[in-house]
Each structure stands twice: as structure tokens, then as C-alpha cells.
Amino acid sequence: MTNPTEQILSFLYKNKDVYTSGQAMANELSVTRAAIWKCIEALRGDGYEIESAAAKGYRLASVPDLLGEREIRLGLDTKYLGCEIHSLAEVDSTNSYASKLAAAGAPEGTVVVSEHQTAGRGRLGRKWVSPPGVNIYVSVILRPEVPPSDAPMVTLAASVPLTRAIKAYGLPAAIKWPNDVLINGRKAAGILTEMSAEPDLVRHIVLGVGIDVNMQKGAFPKELKETATSMMMELGGRVDRAGLLRRFLSELEGAYGMFTRGEKEAVLNGWRELSCTLGRDVKVSTPSGETKGRALDLDASGGLMVELEGGRVETLTSGDVGFV
């Protein structure tokens, strides 16, 4: 990192609990005090709140609520997730954008994030409501060396870090099969994975995640008002989106590592621990009809095992779960 503004920002971020004098920063970063002052003014112009106190120096008080590459990189502790970050003001769908990048050879770990989606997609052909500036819409390019039949497990594996990242804010998040994240029974986040594959090998997977972060109740369309929620609605306060995204990417790197190392049982156990589905009476809507019964467990590939009336167990591989 050679750009002095980024160096200064990173330094202030790491030392955000204390004041640092301009001279100490200049010594540490081998730049002049005049350069420090100029960069601090530039950062303030970009919306960074940097306090200065006589005889104490500077302290980073707040970061703008943006999903820019700079805001995301600040404190990102991943090894390869986020190796490339494409931050867009607006896009049709981050999944579509990431698919094109992946087809053109973008490396594993490339992240596409946007402030706004004009044609956000959800599971089962649904639309994903994606207003500007309040939520997270992110897609991650993955290139696991596995057969296409193993790909659904990636989605399942990703729902665990997603839930953990939301729980880290003190919210009682849990997973509704296969990968909806609910808070207090309402959906706050979802995952849509799209794959490009040859018969025996996955070329790439685009893992698309939408999190309703700072969305207000009034911003949800009528049909979602009773079933959807946002982290802010549940917490009663705004969430720092870049910090949440970093936390998710960091957790995801761990969970995806388990998947690529073939630790399937650990992935499944992580999911079981965070599930609000197992043990419940459910009705699962699939294209071929509705199945009602008790959700028993996941099978080895992540299918939902449902015990029907009469005791027969059916395993479902896709569908929409409702609680009864």
C-alpha cells in the first residue's frame, strides 16, 4: 500500500481508540507532517470524521456508511475473499455482474458489492427488493474443485457464517431451511447461488447474499411487511454495513474452507446448531406439490428429511419451508 491517504486511514483505523500526534504518525509512516494534514483534510472531505485535539493529535471517530472498496478493506482480515473488490453504485444484479467477471476469469474470492440493484433476484424466480444505500447486496466468486452435485452444500455452508455475522450484533438469528436467515421469525437475509459447470466439474459458483440491514418497515412492499424484517428494525439502531460485510467475509472464509477440505459433517453440524427448522412441524412447497410433516434432520447432502404422518420419511432437496 503506497498511497499515503490509505496508509493514514489504515493507521487511524487501527488506533481508533486513542489520539495520535501528527508527528508520531509522520514518523511511523515516513511522510511529512504537511502530507498528514493534507490527507486528513481529504479524508474529512470524503466523510471520515477525524477529531483533532490540541496536544493530543488525531483520532478516527467515524467512517462513512458506504460499501466502497476503501470502507470494506479497512480492517478486513481475510486471506483471499475480497482479493478483488468491485464496488458499484448501481447494477442490475451483483450475481449477474459477478457471473460475467467469473466467465472472464476473475479469481476465486472476487467480491462484487452494490449500493443498489435494479433487478435483484431471489430464490425460486422471485425478485429481491434492493433499495439504495441501506442494505447489503454482495456476490462472491468461488471456484471449488468439486463435482456439480456437491454445489448445493456451498449454499448451506454459507448460511452458517451469514447467521453468525448477524448474531454478532446481538440478534437471535437462525436458519430456515435451506438458507434463509430469520430474526424473530422474520426473514432478514437470503442466499442465491448460481453455478457454471461442466458435467463433472464446477467452473465457478457465484454466491449471492442479500441482507436487509438498515431498511425501514415502510420500505418493504406490502406483501413482505409481515414476513420480512431488517437488522435495524430488530435492533432499534443502525448497523455499520461495511463492518457487517467484513465479518461475513471473514466467517465465510472459515466455513468455505471446511467445505473445500471435504469436512461435510462439520458443515452440517454448524448448520444444525443454528437451525430454527429442525424439530418443527413444517409444510414444504415444491414445484411438485406440498409436503407436510416434522423436520427431522439434514441428510448427508443437506436435503431436509421430513417425517410424514404415518412415519414415512421424505427427503426434500429444494422448496420453501413454512412453519405450521
Stretch touching ligand BTN by CB under 6 A, among 14-22, 153-161, 206-214, 294-302: 206-214
Stretch touching ligand BTN by CB under 6 A, among 38-46, 71-79, 92-100, 156-164: 92-100
Q: Does 94 bind ligand BTN (CB under 6 A)?
A: yes
- Nearest one of 245, 210, 215, 241 to 230, comparing CA atoms: 215
- Nearest one of 144, 114, 96 to 245, comparing CA atoms: 114
- Indicate the pairing of strand 85-88 with strand 111-114: parallel
What number of other Cβ atoms are within 10 A of residue 168's Cβ?
14
The residue whose grid cell reads 442479500 is 210
Q: How far is CA 126 from CA 64, 120, 129, 192, 226, in A?
A: 32, 9, 10, 10, 17
Q: Kindly tell me which residue out of 82, 210, 270, 303 binds ligand BTN, with binding defined by CB under 6 A.
A: 210
User: Which cell numbers hold the place of 12?
Assistant: 487511524
Pick between residue 187 and residue 294 the one whose CB is nearest to ligand BTN. 187
Contacts with 242 (C-beta within 8 Å, 6 or more apart), sequence order? 63, 65, 66, 67, 68, 71, 72, 74
Q: Kindly tell me which residue out of 9, 81, 209, 268 binds ligand BTN, with binding defined by CB under 6 A.
A: 209
Q: Does 93 bind ligand BTN (CB under 6 A)?
A: yes
Residues 181 and 163 sit within 8 Å (Cβ to Cβ):
yes
Pick between residue 20 and residue 95 the one whose CB is nearest to ligand BTN. 95
Q: How far is CA 197 from CA 200, 202, 206, in A?
A: 8, 4, 12
Q: ∠ at Cα 227 (226, 233), nearest 5°? A: 80
Cross-sheet strand order for the sheet of 85-88: 85-88, 111-114, 136-142, 202-211, 186-197, 180-183, 173-176
Q: How far apart are CA 121 and CA 319, in angstroms?
A: 16
Q: Does 191 bind ligand BTN (CB under 6 A)?
A: yes
Q: Does 190 bind ligand BTN (CB under 6 A)?
A: yes
Strand partners, 282: 293, 323
Pick between residue 35 and residue 188 the one whose CB is nearest to ligand BTN. 188
Beta carbon of residue 194, minimum distance to ligand BTN (angstroms, whole number):
9
Residue numbers 123-152 binding ligand BTN by CB under 6 A: 123, 126, 128, 137-139
Q: Kindly tell me which residue out of 25, 85, 121, 165 binds ligand BTN, with binding defined by CB under 6 A.
A: 121
Stretch touching ligand BTN by CB under 6 A, among 31-39, 90-98, 255-263, 266-274: 90-98
Pick between residue 57 and residue 208 the one whose CB is nearest to ligand BTN. 208
Beta carbon of residue 131, minimum distance to ligand BTN (angstroms, whole number):
12
Beta carbon of residue 92, minimum distance to ligand BTN (angstroms, whole number):
8
Pick between residue 75 and residue 122 the one whose CB is nearest to ligand BTN. 122
Stretch touching ligand BTN by CB under 6 A, among 4-12, 60-68, 114-122, 271-279: 114-122
Positions touching ligand BTN (CB under 6 A) are 93-95, 117, 120-123, 126, 128, 137-139, 180, 190-192, 208-210
